[in-house]
Amino acid sequence: MAKIYSKKKLVTIPMNPKKETISFLLNYSKAMSFIKVGNINIETIAN
Amino acid sequence: MANVQTPDALLVKNYVAGDENALSTLINRHQSKIYGFIYSKISDRDISDDIFQDTFIKVIKTLKSNSYNEEGKFLPWVMRIAHNLIIDHFRRNKKMPLFRETEEFSIFSIMSDNSLTIENQMISEQVEKDLKKIINELPDDQKEVLVMRIYQDLSFKEISELTGVSINTALGRMRYALMNLRKVIEKHQIILTN
């Protein structure tokens, strides 16, 4: 059988952002909305 | 059974329609690729997190304001936003470089506190006191020129006008004042350094 010369692939841990960052984004998305006044979109953040 | 994945385009559509879970699915699906891309350019986890966050804030704003162009694919679009923010980061950083403390580099090697310590402050006050005493021992004409030049920061032209002597005389008096000061300091071995 032919020998495999290539090195064994190293296990790479996927790079992910912090949980806090994801949590912030999801909360931001829930709190954020646009109100349309005529032709203008007004951004609002609910507390 | 094959794992059927909801397409990005449908998730985007659902999110725009008000389904918040769709965003969560989109972030979970692509976070690794987007974050990995940012980190590959930035090499700093905290800054990469900031850029990741800013990227998705832009995504959320664009989608919620209905300005998203559905023609393109979701991931390449987000990657482009991240790419632009990375460029912005490097531009900003060029103007205001960020230094981080590492084993080889300490921020204190380029930063120092120039204010005097209490001990040095006391020494400095003592030196000033000694110097004033010696200056008071100088002949009046020399003392006058020296005080005007050093403490009042007047030019020799101004000194000559105020004292009513020529510039050369004022210069000569200054020269003698300094020579006399040096003589007294050497003779009494006064240390006037901090």
pLDDT of residue B97: 67
pLDDT of residue A8: 62
Are B40 and B97 found together in one domain? yes
Instruction: State the DSSP string of B83-94.
Output: HHHHHHHHHHHH
State yes or no: pLDDT of B190 exceeds 60. yes
- Tell me which chain A residues have a C-beta less than 8 angstroms from the C-beta of B23: 25-26, 29
Residues A17, B23: C-beta atoms closer than 8 Å: no
pLDDT of residue A15: 85
Contacts (Cβ under 8 Å, ≥6 apart) of B184: B134, B137, B190
Domain count within chain B: 2
Q: pLDDT tier at B67 (50, 70, 90 boundaries)?
A: confident
Q: For tokens 């979970």, what's the residue?
A: B28
Which of B70, B86, B109 is the last residue before a domain boundary?
B109
Longest dimension (CA), chain B: 108
Is the Cβ of A10 closer than 8 Å to some Cβ of chain B? no
- For chain A, the first-to-last Cα distance in angstroms comes to 67
SS3 B112: coil
In a domain, A42, yes or no: yes
SS3 A29: helix
Interface with chain A: mutation pick from B45, B65, B81, B85, highest number of A CBs within 10 Å: B65
pLDDT tens-place string over residues A1-47: 677 777 666 666 778 999 999 999 999 999 988 888 877 878 888 76
In a domain, B194, yes or no: no
Domain count within chain A: 1
CATH value at residue B144 = 1.10.10.10
CA–CA distance, A32 with A27 (Å, rounded to integer): 8
In a domain, B50, yes or no: yes
pLDDT tens-place string over residues B77-116: 999 999 999 999 998 887 776 677 777 777 777 777 778 7
Nearest-CB residue to B39 (from A15, A26, A32) = A15
CA–CA distance, B144 with B140 (Å, rounded to integer): 6
Report H helices in chain B: 8-16, 20-42, 45-64, 74-95, 118-136, 140-146, 156-163, 167-188
Q: Could you give the dihedral angle defined by the CA atoms of residues B43, B47, B52 and B56, in that order, rounded to the nearest 10 degrees?
A: -160
pLDDT of residue B126: 87
Domain range for residue B153? 118-188
In a domain, A41, yes or no: yes
- Please tell me the distance in Å from A43's CA to the nearest CA on chain B: 8
pLDDT of residue B123: 86
> Residue A43's beta-bridge partner residues?
A34
In a domain, A36, yes or no: yes
pLDDT of residue B119: 85
In a domain, B2, yes or no: no
Which of B73, B90, B109 is the last residue before a domain boundary?
B109
Q: pLDDT tier at B55 (50, 70, 90 boundaries)?
A: very high
Are B80 and B40 found together in one domain? yes
State yes or no: pLDDT of B49 exceeds 90. yes
Are B15 and B65 found together in one domain? yes
In a domain, B193, yes or no: no
State yes or no: pLDDT of B2 exceeds 60. no
Q: To the nearest whole percent, how much of chain B has pLDDT over 70?
A: 96
Mean pLDDT of B126-151: 89
- Which of B17 and B2 is assigned the larger pLDDT? B17
